[in-house]
Amino acid sequence: MSQSAYYVPAQSRWPIYASVALFLMAYGAAHLINGLADQGGGLGLSLLLAGTFCMAMILIGWFGNVISESRGGLYNAQMDRSFRWGMSWFIFSEIMFFAAFFGALFYVRTLAVPWLGGEGEKGVSQLLWPGFEAQWPLLTTPDMKQFPGSDGVINPWHLPLLNTAILVTSSFTLTFAHHALKLDNRPRTILWLGTTILLGVVFLLFQLSEYVEAYQELGLTLNSGIYGATFFMLTGFHGLHVTLGTLMLIIIWLRVLSGHFSPKHHFGFEATAWYWHFVDVVWIGLFIFVYVF
Amino acid sequence: MNTLTRNVECEHTEHGPARGLSRWFFTTNHKDIGTLYLWFSFLMFLTGGCMALMIRAELFQPGLQLIQPDFFNQMTTMHGLIMVFGAVMPAFVGLANWMLPLMVGAPDMALPRMNNWSFWILPFAFAMMISTLFMEGGGPNFGWTFYAPLSTTYAPPSVTFFIFAVHMMGISSIMGAINVIATILNMRAPGMTMMKLPLFVWTWLITAFLLIAVMPVLAGVVTMMLMDIHFGTSFFNAAGGGDPVLFQHIFWFFGHPEVYIMILPAFGIVSEIIPTFARKRLFGYASMVYATASIAFLSFIVWAHHMFTVGLPLMGEIFFMFATMLIAVPTGVKVFNWIATMFRGSMTFETPMLFSLAFVVLFTIGGFSGLMLAIAPADFQYHDTYFVVAHFHYVLVPGAVFAIMAGVYYWLPKWTGNYYNETLGKWHFWCSFIGVNLTFFPMHFIGLAGMPRRIPDYALQFADFNMVASIGAFIFGFSQLIFLVLVIKTIRGGDRAPAQVWDQPQGLEWTVPSPAPYHTFAEPPEVK
Ligand code: HEM
Ligand SMILES: [Cu+2]
């Protein structure tokens, strides 16, 4: 195998299988959601589960191929750069996904809600909802029958602050793990990576208990109006990303255990670390703009 | 490996295409995948075209004759969605797949398996989207721009399937764009510096950036719709403190860059073709690159020119009006450069050149009508009339679609090893050219006279121009069958094309034999 040639894989069955699985997932999800109202989503649920299961198997197989090719020395430095570009641009696309939701939050806070409250002399709310007053967080919505508002919001200085500390710490522990990996110190890598995973799990548990508090004690729900909508969608998508990141870390942890990485070659580790730091940065944005201000 | 990568000319057969259908399902070869994209795009072009013909048949005369208003709305919606996401975008990705590795001297796209996945998601996504037409309550009927609350509170139940189909298309586009960027940034042959890249490569690099930046925003907006419809959120509902106008802001933050996604690669194609047939180097290469980059940058700060009439604050109207007009500057630079390239050239008029020339002229007409629409106070009059329809069809059909056709004619001999039939090509061009102008030029007038868009019936005074437009549409539609026949004939045979195909064209793609071998540039060429 010459180091100079770029590895172009031969045919592969994974992509088209993955397309079928994705289709099952999407079709199943749509069917399930449409059936929610009239309890008729059974078929959708089975399709969704089947698709998800297939997708998981396919990804394991596909990444398995990549890992064995990489360990077989088929990838040269140029291939490594392709992966780096690929992962970087993927993270950029994720940033833009969050940007859409942050943009929505800023728009309603600075424009839509004040306008509803009568600012800018647009006269809309005066006609439709006389007496509506703009405030943020929006506890009282224009139409309290349809969107019942909430009794309060999460106190940023309790769990959210703790969660901030946890995620920031986890970025550090992950960096310690990376340094240990570069020094070829496997036990320490395993230790620090394990700590990072634990912190991720604790974060998720705290986040869950916060949702329980929001729903049960504060009456803050998806249906509360625009505050609840932006709050749950932003923190919810972030939570999903932490979940995915934690899963990725667990896989990397298992790969470290079986000695897949060398001090020089460990892009799988690095890609996951990039992803984790990205999730961390998004949280800081959330903490500031969703919880504190 | 080394032994079989020695020379492209004495290609080893063990790495040739697989036999049978599995070749197309499992392939990782950029040429195969390019071919798949192009055929899929053509199929969608015909599908979306049939829907357009249904629209035009209904509009042939005033009154309701053939289809019900709700079905008419489903047709306009599906036509737009299919043409944008199914025909134009995949065609450009197909051309990118075929040509980018050849143009930068790479053995393949950077991530070949993901490349296959990007393609194969599409047939499933479109199957799902088109199937909504047969669902209870009908398919999406809220226009390709799917404004809330039409697409939320008042949408048919099939909107959920539409949302997931859009998600799938987005995944496909993002992966495709990541592949393009990685290929261009990382797979260039030694010596192929950035400022030596052919313009088609440059425009695709910038397009891919736009795609990665805005497709996630589209995913975000359809997700908000999903939540509003099924899970009680109030993003687009003022009763809960949200705002239907928020939908439009997010949609057009995606939507305006999206229209440039559909035109920048077209600029690239035309910038390849005109120098070849004018037998001169492209005038102002560097300024072309900078103009493309400026257009891409500006495309992020003009989105609200689609929303002048929703009640933006005055400062907003003014800002978006001037920012939009600024785009005319880099666009003008481009048109100037194309014309300057032809100035005193030894021109010949083969079919790719005819399509490119028509592109320059007719796209410019579309640009000018865009400039008219950009004048906020005037747009209060034009908005949601057929004038807008005329504008965007001029930039998209004789713009994007003609450029795609030009590209196919230009590179077809390279792909198949055969020349196409020039007489048939000219027939295709002239029928298309006449058809397009008959269809869309009268729309300017009926638009200015006040005929609203997306309406199955109209007042009597618009009858004549509508009839002309419908006749033109059928001419344009059926002349695409000439193209189909021509392509099939060329694949099956024809005069053998040499490596260079045209009279001394520039670029690495002309250094490999025609048809291009299954694997090219396994060892990178030297670029001086
Ligand atoms: C000089 C360049 C351009 C300018 C100044 C411009 C300006 C505008 C404006 C102001 C509108 C909104 C009209 C209205 O709804 O009232 C519009 C609509 C549109 N433009 Fe352009 N445009 C330009 C180029 C393009 C290009 C290159 C494309 C695509 C290839 C394009 C595609 C569209 C589409 C699809 C719409 C209509 C969207 C819809 O409402 O369905 N435009 N343009
Ligand atoms: Cu626009």
Classify burial at B522, counting beta carbons within 10 Å of its beta carbon; exposed 0-12, middle 13-18, buried 19 or more. Answer: buried
Task: Identify whether residues A68 and A81 lie together within a single domain.
Answer: no
| Number of domains making up chain B | 1
Distance CA B508, CA B285 (A): 17
| Partner residue facing B212 (CB), from A1, A27, A93 | A93
C-beta B94 within 6 A of ligand 1: no
Contact B167 A26 (CB under 8 A): yes
* Two tokens, residue B11: 């290609």
Contact B249 A221 (CB under 8 A): no
The predicted structure's pLDDT at residue A45: 92
C-beta B390 within 6 A of ligand 1: no
CATH number at residue A47: 1.10.287.70
pLDDT digits (tens, 9 = 90+) for A208-229: 999 999 999 999 999 999 999 9
C-beta B306 within 6 A of ligand 1: yes
Q: Which residues contact B411 (CB under 8 A, 6 or more apart)?
A: B95, B98, B99, B509
Q: Tell me phi and psi for residue A169, to 5 degrees.
A: -60, -40
Contact A101 B220 (CB under 8 A): yes
| Number of domains making up chain A | 2
* Two tokens, residue B58: 């209904």
Q: Which DSSP category does A13 fall into?
A: S
Q: How far is CA A82 from CA A74, A110, B88, B186, B254, in A?
A: 14, 41, 27, 6, 27
Nearest CA in chain B to A231: B233
Task: Identify whether residues A44 and A101 lie together within a single domain.
Answer: no
Which residues pair with residue B452 across a beta bridge?
B385
The predicted structure's pLDDT at residue B15: 64
Dmax over Cα atoms in chain A, in whole Å? 76
Percent share of chain A, pLDDT over 90: 85
The predicted structure's pLDDT at residue A125: 67
Among A residues 185-224, those touching chain B with beta carbons less than 8 Å apart: 221-224
Task: Identify whether residues A86 and A130 lie together within a single domain.
Answer: yes
Which residues pair with residue B418 across a beta bridge?
B496
> Of A10, A43, A75, which closes a domain?
A75
- B519 domain residue, yes or no: no
| Global confidence as pTM | 0.95
B35: domain range?
25-511
Q: Tell me phi and psi for residue B449, to 5 degrees.
A: -80, -5
| Partner residue facing B164 (CB), from A26, A90, A124 | A26
The predicted structure's pLDDT at residue A126: 74
Distance CA B118, CA B126 (A): 13
Q: Which residues contact B252 (CB under 8 A, 6 or more apart)?
A: B303, B304, B306, B307
A6: domain range?
1-75
pLDDT digits (tens, 9 = 90+) for A94-147: 999 999 999 999 999 999 999 998 887 676 667 888 888 999 999 999 999 999
3-state secondary structure of A149: coil
Task: Identify whether residues A94 and A206 lie together within a single domain.
Answer: yes
Which stretch of DSSP H or E encloses residue A134? Answer: none
- Nearest-CA distance from B25 to chain A in Å? 7
Q: Which of B205, B203, B177, B210 is nearest to B400 (CA)?
A: B203
CATH number at residue B91: 1.20.210.10
Q: Which residues contact B42 (CB under 8 A, 6 or more apart)?
A: B87, B91, B484
Task: Identify whether residues A102 and A188 lie together within a single domain.
Answer: yes
C-beta B95 within 6 A of ligand 1: no
Q: Which of A225, A38, A221, A220 is nearest to A145 (CA)?
A: A225
The predicted structure's pLDDT at residue B18: 84
CB B169 within 8 A of CB B125: yes
> pLDDT 10s digit of each residue in chain A, 293 long?
345 688 988 899 999 999 999 999 999 999 999 988 766 668 899 999 999 999 999 999 999 999 999 998 899 999 999 999 999 999 999 999 999 999 999 999 999 999 998 887 676 667 888 888 999 999 999 999 999 999 999 999 999 999 999 999 999 999 999 999 999 999 999 999 999 999 999 999 999 999 999 999 999 999 999 999 999 999 999 999 999 999 999 999 999 999 999 999 999 999 999 999 999 999 999 999 999 98
3-state secondary structure of B266: helix
> Of A75, A107, A140, which closes a domain?
A75
Q: Which residues contact A159 (CB under 8 A, 6 or more apart)?
A: A206, A209, A210
CB B379 within 8 A of CB B309: yes
Helix, strand, coil shares, percent, chain B, to 5: 70, 0, 30
Neighbours of B20 (CB within 10 A): 8
Ligand whose nearest atom lies closest to the CA of B145: 1
Q: How far is CA B346 from CA A74, B272, B419, in A?
A: 49, 16, 22
Contact A12 B26 (CB under 8 A): yes
ipTM tops 0.90? yes
Residue B471: alpha-carbon gap to chain centroid: 24
Nearest CA in chain B to A149: B240
Nearest CA in chain A to B242: A226
Task: Identify whether residues A81 and A138 lie together within a single domain.
Answer: yes
Dmax over Cα atoms in chain B, in whole Å? 74
- B309 domain residue, yes or no: yes
Neighbours of B366 (CB within 10 A): 21
Task: Identify whether residues A155 and A222 lie together within a single domain.
Answer: yes
Task: Identify whether residues A70 and A191 lie together within a single domain.
Answer: no
> Of A54, A75, A96, which closes a domain?
A75
Neighbours of A121 (CB within 10 A): 7
Q: What is A201-221 written as a DSSP string?
A: HHHHHHHHHHHHHIIIII---
Ligand whose nearest atom lies closest to the CA of B452: 1
Task: Identify whether residues A47 and A86 lie together within a single domain.
Answer: no
Among B residues 158-177, those touching chain A with beta carbons less than 8 Å apart: 160-161, 163-165, 167-168, 171, 174, 177
- Nearest-CA distance from A287 to chain B in Å? 20
CATH number at residue A187: 1.20.120.80
Task: Identify whether residues A223 and A157 lie together within a single domain.
Answer: yes
List residues, by chain if needed, whose CB lies under 5 Å from ion ligand 2. B 256
Q: Which residue has the tokens 């297939």?
A: A54
Task: Show the DSSP H helices in B13-84 as ranges.
Answer: 22-26, 30-58, 69-81
Which residues pair with residue B385 across a beta bridge?
B452
> pLDDT 10s digit of each residue in chain B, 528 long?
333 333 333 334 446 788 888 999 999 999 999 999 999 999 999 999 999 999 999 999 999 999 999 999 999 999 999 999 999 999 999 999 999 999 999 999 999 999 999 999 999 999 999 999 999 999 999 999 999 999 999 999 999 999 999 999 999 999 999 999 999 999 999 999 999 999 999 999 999 999 999 999 999 999 999 999 999 999 999 999 999 999 999 999 999 999 999 999 999 999 999 999 999 999 999 999 999 999 999 999 999 999 999 989 999 999 999 999 999 999 999 999 999 999 999 999 999 999 999 999 999 999 999 999 999 999 999 999 999 999 999 999 999 999 999 999 999 999 999 999 999 999 999 999 999 999 999 999 999 999 999 999 999 999 999 999 999 999 999 999 999 999 999 999 999 999 999 999 999 999 999 999 999 998 899 887
- B383 domain residue, yes or no: yes
Task: Identify whether residues A13 and A84 lie together within a single domain.
Answer: no
Task: Identify whether residues A134 and A250 lie together within a single domain.
Answer: yes
Distance CA B268, CA B271 (A): 5
Distance CA A179, CA A188 (A): 9
